[in-house]
Amino acid sequence: MDFLKKVVRQLPALLGVALLVGAIWVVWKEFRHLKVADIKAALSAIPERALLVSFCWTILSYGVLTFYDRLATIYAGHKISYGRVSFASFCAYALSHNLGFAAVSGAAVRYRLYAHWGLPPFQIAKVVAYCSLPFGLGGLGLGGVILFLEPDAIPFFGALVPKWGMYAVGALLWLVVAAYVCLSRFVGTIRLFGTEGTLPDWRMAIVQVALATVDVAVTAAIFYELLPEVPGLSYVRFLGVYVASYTAGLAANLPGGIGVFDAAMLKGLEHYLEPPQILGAIVVFRLYYYIIPLFLAGTMFAGNEILLRGGALFKTGTIGRSTQALARWSEPSFAAGAASGAVALCGALLLALGVLDDRPDFSWIDPDYADLAANAGQFVPSLIGAALLVLSVALSQRVTLAWGATIVLLLAAAGFTAAQGTNLWVPAVLVLATLLVAPFRDAYYRHARLLSGPLQAGTAVPLFALVVCVLALSAFEPTMRTVNESSWIEVVLSPDLPNSLRLSVALAVVLALAALWRLIRPGRVGWVPWAGEGRRRYAELGALPPVQADGIVMGEAGRAGIPFRRIGRVLLGLGDPAGSVQDRVSAIWNLRDLAQQEGLDPAVWRAGPGLLKVYADLGLTALPLGPDGLPLPERADDAPVVAQYLCCRAERDLSLLLPLLPSLAETGLRERGQLAS
């Protein structure tokens, strides 16, 4: 049973890997004969009118999204001005669109902004829950329309499933949407897979579905406007391709669905347009819908944080201190998330350029270096691109070694691509990404498995495998001279090369990437049993130890720790970490990682206001507690100023923890009485 649970937890990651592998194959198959000049020509062929109209659709799309937050604040019982709602909506969606894991990345931004504007934490949780269903509801509603009007428009399935089967699926999609509205009307509160939630009013649910449908339709229009008119490609037919492709990108859980969405669009439109035309539209679509909004939102959010920090300097009391403390964590968190997305995009860029049919010109390089650059060709940059995709995941986990390795590889890739003398914008992008990552060293504080302890078999084997794989790829150098202008993907998939070479390169690359991930990911979190050693270590940190605890988890530097108890499916931290201020944040992350290792949900009881932003980054909602450690009654006005909170996944674990808090509070009172006596 435990093995089955572990497999189920890994299914999303396995699905993402499978979709990414399929995307790489599609991109290689369609783009291997393309040149960058072909794509430039396709971009130049897009009419200025289409660019302008598409940009207007983009503005309208983000405008529609603001109404989600507007309705969400009404649903939460705390109406906020439309200007503030628009600001929060734009920042949250621009970040989540680019970074993936929308429920987590968007939730952190919303928590930061709405908390400053007076929403109680439980109401913020309602806002986040309400805003987490946009594409799902819109995709279901539009999917039903598409399957009835154009049943063969869905790529990969339209030609395989009979029309009556597609009609049945369309009816099922509409049935799901209707069930959502009916549950809102007649039930109100549902419990699914251990998660309990309160549904909005049925009228608001209908508006939510309508807005979601309009949102997906308008976003698809951004892309559709960039395509030339071709016979047979109606907007409804295109909508089927778009919805299927966007769904695949979401399922992959990659930043912006990078690679998977693009490959699915390419495959779905291949019967209507040439690959350069499709790729040109993809480039502009990503620029409009992803890149420009990300930079605008990042600038706006950073400016707001500077204003908040400045305002906090003139305040006194608990509110001023907590706001100032929260501001310290917001900027690195946002920057770390943006850096992860930028590095993933750079990796995808290097892989994509590796399969284009462009041959570098080394005639301008000093002859002593020309041979080295020629041998590197596209092979080395494409390997770096794959490694950057792995490192982007480690960056999102705040691993120090990943930060250093990323900078080294970005600069190396910039050097290789600059030496090739073509597409000088590529090294410029790589250097820009380096400048984005480099200043935020403090945001990466977790030790990699390679450096988290003595060299053991679990670390030595991947390290040995990585070295062997690198040496093996180097040993192929005499043979690779004939294909050095190809990426490793082309080498693996080329039917003109010996199968032994293709298999050897594939195994070497896959094993190297797997070994890199095993070494670069955060080390396995250990904990100290409370009886004896754990209690003593916690007391040495200068804190009064609780009487009842199961153990203590320490920070990366071992100078901060947080005691915990296992309660059902929750690993409950007992208060903020005690000890060194510099090590407290890593102790919280280690608590989260320990919970993941054991298949539990993390939570913290009696958390203080100073680290609420860190808990929000982990997807935890903060509920205010009274002096007795029990939740305060929910209020419709401004959030009360309190000294402690319960931080948990409210939509999943609050119903489990609430009945247990009185006994925890009573135990705490007894402990304080014993310590006082």
3-class DSSP state of 648: strand
Query: Exposed, middle or buried: residue 584 (CB in 10 Å: 0-12, 13-18, 19+)?
Result: buried
Within 32-155, residue ranges assigned H as helices are 36-44, 48-76, 82-99, 102-116, 121-130, 134-149
Q: Given phi > 0 = left and psi -120 to 50 = alpha, else beta, which region is 227?
A: beta
Q: Report long-range pairs for 465-473 (Cβ below 8 Å, ≥24 apart).
A: 465/511, 465/512, 465/514, 465/515, 466/512, 466/515, 466/516, 466/519, 469/508, 469/509, 469/511, 469/512, 469/515, 470/512, 472/504, 472/508, 473/383, 473/505, 473/508, 473/509, 473/512
**Distance between alpha carbon 388 and the CA centroid of its chain, in Å?**
15
In eight-state DSSP terms, residue 512 is H
Residue 670, pLDDT score: 56
Residue 523 makes CB contacts below 8 A (sequence gap 6+) with: 447, 448, 449, 451, 452, 453
Ranges of the chain whose pLDDT falls below 70: 1-39, 99-105, 108, 121-122, 133-135, 155-161, 188-198, 252-256, 302-303, 305-338, 354-378, 420-423, 451-459, 474-490, 493-495, 547, 633-641, 651, 666-677
- Bridge-based pairing of strands 601-607 and 570-574 is parallel
Give the predicted TM-score (pTM) of the model: 0.64
Within 287-399, residue ranges assigned H as helices are 292-313, 317-354, 367-376, 379-396
Residue 510 corresponds to which tokens in the numbers above?
Answer: 């896959």
The answer to whether 597 and 588 are in contact (CB under 8 A) is no
Within 438-498, residue ranges assigned H as helices are 457-475, 477-480, 488-493
List pLDDT tens digits, range 309-362. 555 433 433 333 433 333 344 444 556 666 777 788 788 778 777 655 455 554
Within 355-422, residue ranges assigned H as helices are 367-376, 379-396, 400-419
Distances (CA, A) of 168 to 140, 151, 420, 457, 633: 13, 10, 54, 53, 47
Question: Which residue type occupies 189?
Answer: T
In eight-state DSSP terms, residue 446 is B
Cβ neighbours of 641 (radius 10 Å):
11
Residue 318, pLDDT score: 38
Q: Supply the DSSP string of 19-57, one letter for each residue.
A: HHHHHHHHHHHHHTT--HHHHHHHHHTS-HHHHHHHHHH
Residue 377, pLDDT score: 59
Residue 103, pLDDT score: 44
Nearest CA-CA partner of 658 in 599, 588, 603 = 603
Residue 277, pLDDT score: 86
Residue 367 corresponds to which tokens in the numbers above?
Answer: 């002859």
Cβ neighbours of 218 (radius 10 Å):
19
List pLDDT tens digits, range 102-134. 445 577 677 777 877 777 766 777 787 777 766
Residue 189, pLDDT score: 64
The answer to whether 266 and 27 are in contact (CB under 8 A) is yes
The answer to whether 288 and 52 are in contact (CB under 8 A) is no
Q: Given phi > 0 = left and psi -120 to 50 = alpha, else beta, which region is 568?
A: left
Cβ neighbours of 568 (radius 10 Å):
13
